[in-house]
Amino acid sequence: MIAIFRYPKREQWKELMLRPSIENALIEPEVAKILLDIKQNGNEAVRRYASIFDVVSLGKFQIEAEDLRTKAREVDSKLAEAINTAYSNIEVFHKAQLHETTFIETMPGVLCWRKGIAIERIGMYIPGGTAPLFSTVLMLGIPAKIAGCKEIILCTPPNNDHSIHPAIAYAAELIGIEKIFAVGGIQAIGSMAYGTTEIPKVDKIFGPGNQYVTCAKQLVSKEGIAIDLPAGPSELAVIADESCNPEFVAADLLSQAEHGIDSHLILVTDYENVIQQVMLALEKQLAKLSRREIAAKVLKNSKVFLVKTIDEGMDLINLYAPEHLIISCRNDEEIAEKVINAGSVFLGNYSPESAGDYASGTNHTLPTNGCANAYSGVSVDSFLKNITFQKITKDGLKNIGETVELMAQAEGLDAHKNAVRIRLS
């Protein structure tokens, strides 16, 4: 069912690694029109589209604090405990991403420093639909809290009864998100980008979504609203040698395959037998899955590569730049040193991707579609600006002054030179 490529030539790699192209051009004009309407007509427009797209007619968009608390209490104690554990691990890992401000005297009297300051207002979009992604509430909300964002708002599509999934309510309450709005899709992105009488404008928008949400995020980012990452379908690459457990490899591939029919998978190995055994395991495990139809479609579009060496396999993987990479090899730590392009990496036979999706502590909002070549996943950094500061004394300016004057003059910028000259004369 999966296409197998044995010892493909290097000159073919680039083409073999191509993802299906994502075509937004068709929906872009429609999305742009709706965003402009929201920009101009605010809440009235948001309400109009909510009734068209979500077929609901709501009172206020904001969910009452009391309703939120009631919903949160519906989470059973075992799930609550699991969410608490995940919270704690994510918090511990992300807290270590905060850096002390370092003061550097680059020359005597020239003191420079860089300080991380929280983005004031952030918005997160949590998709509705079949799977209530409360894990994403944790993955975005915890680093936002650690960074110190003053205002965190959350938009998620309304259910028919204007309620919210208990686990989302529970996660939001843990983080302390008080402003939750039952607004979905393009309307949610437009509201957070421009602000309406009900929904506050934010400085940066985070979170996954369908192609309309993705397109809307891309369009508002052109207007100066920051967004977390260019979005694309989820991906997994597994590199495995003979020490791997084919049942585990198959389970990991399927966990990625169940996300959605546009998910993307590759398996790279230097051992023919791994291919055979993984194939058998896939068939066996697939039959038992509730989302087997989705997973089967994904497998059909997936690729297996047999390579001469694991080193060569890593070259192939770095070219692919996967969102997730599992290294199921004997010397996993040594191979991990060769990773150049990936979002998050899982080492050894007991590090399934799903551990990172939920609870190991790393973030699950990661670069997709090959963007791992230049983008990082979400971290506390994503919720901060690093502002630079400098304080120069009169003597410091004497030390640096001639350098500045000469360079300004060579660039033909008189007034830049004069700003130093006037202070020293």
> Taking the mean position of all CA atoms in its chain, how far away is CA 170?
22
Helix (H) or strand (E) holding 407: helix 394-410
- Please say if 333 is a catalytic residue: no
- Binding to a second copy (CB under 8 A) within 157-176 occurs at 167
Binding-residue pattern over the window 173 to 192 for a second copy, x denoting contact by CB under 8 A: --------------------
Determine, following the binding rule CB under 8 A, whether residue 392 of this chain makes contact with a second copy: yes
Catalytic residue among 173, 323, 353, 364: 323
Find out whether 141 and 206 touch, Cβ atoms under 8 Å.
Answer: no
Answer for which of 193, 196, 332, 335 binds a second copy (CB under 8 A) is 332
Q: How many CB atoms lie within 10 A of CB 221?
A: 16
CB closer to a second copy, 64 vs 293: 293
User: What letter represents residue 425's amino acid?
Assistant: S
Mind giving me the DSSP string for 337-380?
TT--S-SEEEESTT--HHHHHHTSSS------TTGGGT-----G
Find out whether 85 and 359 touch, Cβ atoms under 8 Å.
Answer: yes
Contacts of 379 (CB under 8 A, 6+ apart): 94, 97, 143, 363
> Taking the mean position of all CA atoms in its chain, how far away is CA 245?
29
CB of 405 to a second copy, least distance (A): 8
Window of 36-44, 56-64, 304-312, 369-377 that interacts with a second copy by CB under 8 A: 369-377
CB of 327 to a second copy, least distance (A): 9
Window of 33-41, 49-57, 306-314, 388-396 that interacts with a second copy by CB under 8 A: 388-396
CB closer to a second copy, 54 vs 357: 357
Find out whether 342 and 40 touch, Cβ atoms under 8 Å.
Answer: no
Answer for which of 180, 295, 307, 314 binds a second copy (CB under 8 A) is 295
Determine, following the binding rule CB under 8 A, whether residue 74 of this chain makes contact with a second copy: no
User: What letter represents residue 321's amino acid?
Assistant: A
CB of 386 to a second copy, least distance (A): 4
**238 bridge partner residues:** 267, 326
Could you tell me the two tokens for 165?
């999934």
Contacts of 206 (CB under 8 A, 6+ apart): 122, 123, 124, 125, 140, 227, 228, 365, 378, 382
Window of 34-42, 45-53, 56-64, 77-85 that interacts with a second copy by CB under 8 A: 77-85
- Please say if 323 is a catalytic residue: yes
- Binding to a second copy (CB under 8 A) within 27-66 occurs at none
Answer for which of 30, 44, 120, 272 binds a second copy (CB under 8 A) is 120
Window of 35-43, 62-70, 219-227, 300-308 that interacts with a second copy by CB under 8 A: 219-227
Determine, following the binding rule CB under 8 A, whether residue 280 of this chain makes contact with a second copy: no
Answer for which of 159, 211, 285, 301 binds a second copy (CB under 8 A) is 285
Determine, following the binding rule CB under 8 A, whether residue 82 of this chain makes contact with a second copy: yes
| Strand intervals (E) in 170-220 | 179-181, 204-206
